[in-house]
Amino acid sequence: MNEYTLITGATSGIGYELVKLFAKDKDNLILVARNEEKLNEIKNDLTEKYGIDVVVVPMDLSIIENSKKLYDKTKELNLKVVKLINNAGFGDSCEFINCKIAKINQMIDLNMKALTNLTYYYANDMKENKYGRILNVSSVAAYLAGPYMGVYYASKAYVMNFSIALAVEMKKYNVKISILCPGPTKTDFAHKAEFKNENSFNKYATKPERVAKIAYKKFRKGKLVINPGFVVKLISFGTRLTSRKFAAKRSAGLNNSRVK
Ligand SMILES: NC(=O)c1ccc[n+]([C@@H]2O[C@H](COP(=O)([O-])OP(=O)(O)OC[C@H]3O[C@@H](n4cnc5c(N)ncnc54)[C@H](OP(=O)(O)O)[C@@H]3O)[C@@H](O)[C@H]2O)c1
């Protein structure tokens, strides 16, 4: 049975940059996102360049049943997933009481539920195979509470704590978990989060190629928490020294300036 790396959110930003790095190292890939046309373009490009097998699954992972459908499909096709990259996710910039509740629920379903369900199904197989690697994409937002993006920050704190707990449980099965905590990164994120000043966010943001390169290198080494870049390291350290309330107030100022 051929081995595969499954990557969610494979069509743009950090996910797409990770896709290219895994492909370059000749991993066979299962790519998931909603945009079928983009997935097929990527598939054609990578199969031609690297001669790897690329399976695309166009799917909305914020629909809860789809995580199991994705897992069943990979079983049906006899694809052995040895690396799982839970990257798909998005944010929302709004005062909580004014947010659209449907978008908030979609965020909870994608950022937390889909990630948890996919991890559950594939981690069980990895245990059976006595090998596996999982990379869960969190954020620097995991280190503090973020007024005006409260649910997003909390969803990333969930990813962080869940993944650290899982890493402890899975060590005995030779399944390693890594958590990636990017800071502001120049992707479609700011647009989808409906930031007022999308351009100024992107102006100072890190390129996704750089975030992916650091993530890929550290993931391969089995590092647990991957803080890409100096600013993220500073925030992860600094938030340990300040009160949670102080950190939340500082982040409130920044996040509120982005609300439309
Ligand atoms: N950019 C940042 O500043 C930043 C910072 C910290 C953490 N992160 C995290 O990094 C991860 C990747 O985000 P990004 O910045 O690279 O954003 P992005 O450019 O918007 O990429 C998001 C990817 O997820 C896919 N996706 C979105 N909704 C989906 C759904 N319902 N079902 C399946 N796939 C879906 C998108 O493809 P389709 O639209 O085709 O579905 C796309 O491939 C996210 O978890 C994000 O929270 C980003």
Mind listing the pLDDT tens digit for each residue in 73-125?
999 999 999 999 999 999 999 999 999 999 999 999 999 999 999 999 999 99
The b-or-e profile of 223-259 (16+ CB within 10 A means b, else e) is bebbbbbeebeebbeebeeeeeeebbebbbeebeebb
139 lines ligand 1 (CB under 6 A): yes
Sequence-distant (≥ 6) Cβ neighbours of residue 98 within 8 angstroms:
none
Atom of ligand 1 nearest to the CA of 66: 32
Contact 188, 217 (CB under 8 A): no
Tokens 């998005």, located at residue: 90
CATH of 3-256, one of 2.40.50.1040, 3.20.20.150, 3.40.50.720, 3.50.50.60: 3.40.50.720
Pocket test for ligand 1, best of 12, 21, 92, 113 (most atoms within 8 A of CB): 12
**How many angstroms separate the CA atoms of 260 and 258, rounded?**
6
Q: What is the pLDDT of residue 1?
A: 67
Kindly state the DSSP code that residue 49 receives in the 8-state scheme.
H
Atom of ligand 1 nearest to the CA of 114: 32
This prediction has a pTM of 0.98
Atom of ligand 1 nearest to the CA of 111: 45
90 lines ligand 1 (CB under 6 A): yes
* Residues lower than pLDDT 70 in the chain: 1
Tokens 């080494």, located at residue: 221
**How many angstroms separate the CA atoms of 181 and 87, rounded?**
11
Cα dihedral 61, 63, 68, 73, rounded to 10, equals -60
113 lines ligand 1 (CB under 6 A): no
Q: What is the pLDDT of residue 197?
A: 87
CA of 13 to the centre of ligand 1 (A): 7
